[in-house]
Amino acid sequence: MEKPFLLMLPGPTMIPEEVLEAGRRQMISHRGKAFAEMFRRVQEGLRTFFGTQQEVFLLSTSGTGAMEAAVVNVLSPGDRVLAVEIGVFGKRFGKIAAAFGAEVDRISFDYGEAADPERVGVQVREGGPYRAVLMTFNETSTGVTNDLPALCRAIRAAQEDVLILVDGISAVGALPTEMDAWGIDVLVSGAQKAWMSPPGAAFIALSERAWAAAETARMPRFYLDLRTYRTYAQRGQTPYTPPISVVYALDVALARMQAEGREAIFARHAELGAYTRQQVRELGLSILAKDPARASNTVTAIRMPEGVDAEAVRARVLAEENVALAGGQQDLKGKIVRIGHMGAVEKAHIDRALAALKAALEAEAKA
Ligand SMILES: *Cc1c(COP(=O)(O)O)cnc(C)c1O
């Protein structure tokens, strides 16, 4: 008999049964009272995990759509911005800004490293002034979590009025996040990561400073113009048809998250992250994240031994054990295997994934 499928990607993540069930309900009017009530509940739930008093808006896009919304709502062509790059997703943020005409400076760190707050602060002080700094909270491509509060402090100290835009797609909902207290101006996330929901919705919140910038920003925007979303949210609506099935799912997922509690969720992810890393080391494998203190609690990137093709290992894990692991992206393809452990993940899942990885590595060694 075929083994049950186990999805261990850093997004999309596994969806609990009751959340899946919620997603199959009949459609309702997105302009009616029932939708408005659900929409407001979802906004409230998201807000708790964003750590903000601001409203959180829902976009019918994947996470990247929300990154684009972050850029086009507060920037103008010709604005000088700094992209802090520690992996693929940090680079993407800079590319989006460049595509809309920003002048992008880049500060890059090696794969496996977190951004050094001091170096970033110096770059802002000496290379600036910048209109914005673009950063990844948790770099999913390398399994590294940036020290976001320290980065925000260093950036603010270097330039008080700079906008801080953060891709929190694989962090918010799993890692402690305080948008307001840390001084983040734009924060985004996506349904298919820690929120245990299907892909198709992304979330974004703006600080007062960012809303002021949105009034004068001149990058082209229509579908993603957040001023329209703000107007419609007053009625418990989105301006355009929302992904109603995803909102059903999110409503149930967020109720589960509220029941478990913010602190308990953060503690569970911290424990699962540490457990995964410990088990990986016991297999004699090394972790891409260089500083153990900055290793991600939502995704672990594992280096393959010299001469072992990560893609062959992954294919074997799927074929033999029916477990889906993620590979490396771009330069890291073939070199690493990534295990997602955000959302509805339990120790037993990690044990099964790592047992499958161990068996595949042994088989590859013989092949
Ligand atoms: C998954 C992810 C993205 C991309 O999200 P899509 O939903 O695929 O557009 C961007 N940034 C980070 C940090 C991610 O983990």
What pLDDT, on a 0 to 100 scale, did the predictor assign at position 100? Answer: 98
- Please give the average per-residue pLDDT across 166-187, as a whole number: 98
- Ligand 1 geometric centre to CA of 282 (Å): 30
Torsional sign, CA 53, 166, 194, 349: negative
The torsion angles phi and psi of 22, rounded to 5 degrees, stand at -60, -35
pLDDT value at 152 more than 80:
yes
Q: Decide whether any atom of ligand 1 lies within 6 Å of the 134 Cβ.
A: no
Q: What percent of the chain has pLDDT over 90?
A: 99
* Furthest C-alpha separation in the chain: 63
How far apart are alpha carbons 62 and 27 in whole angstroms?
21
How far apart are alpha carbons 10 and 91 in whole angstroms?
18
Q: Decide whether any atom of ligand 1 lies within 6 Å of the 170 Cβ.
A: yes
- Ligand 1 geometric centre to CA of 64 (Å): 6
What pLDDT, on a 0 to 100 scale, did the predictor assign at position 320? Answer: 96
pTM equals 0.98
Helix locations, 75-168, DSSP H:
88-99, 117-127, 148-158
Other Cβ atoms within 10 Å of 203 Cβ, number: 27
- Ligand 1 geometric centre to CA of 68 (Å): 12
- Ligand 1 geometric centre to CA of 101 (Å): 22
How far apart are alpha carbons 196 and 210 in whole angstroms?
28
pLDDT value at 337 more than 80:
yes
What pLDDT, on a 0 to 100 scale, did the predictor assign at position 1? Answer: 65
- Please give the average per-residue pLDDT across 98-120, as a whole number: 98
What pLDDT, on a 0 to 100 scale, did the predictor assign at position 2? Answer: 83
**AA identity, residue 56:** V
Q: Which numbered atom of ligand 1 lies nearest the CA of 168?
A: 13
Torsional sign, CA 294, 297, 303, 305: positive
Q: Decide whether any atom of ligand 1 lies within 6 Å of the 23 Cβ.
A: no
Q: Are 207 and 216 in contact (CB under 8 A)?
A: no
pLDDT value at 285 more than 70:
yes
Q: Decide whether any atom of ligand 1 lies within 6 Å of the 322 Cβ.
A: no
- Ligand 1 geometric centre to CA of 196 (Å): 14
Q: Which numbered atom of ligand 1 lies nearest the CA of 66?
A: 9
- Please give the average per-residue pLDDT across 151-165, as a whole number: 98
Whether the upstream peptide bond of residue 242 has omega within 30° of 0, thus cis, is: no
**Average per-residue pLDDT for the chain:** 97
Residue 240 tokens read as 């355009």
Q: Decide whether any atom of ligand 1 lies within 6 Å of the 79 Cβ.
A: no
Q: What is the pLDDT of residues 20-53, one digit of tens each?
A: 999 999 999 999 999 999 999 999 999 999 999 9
125 band by pLDDT with thresholds 50, 70 and 90:
very high
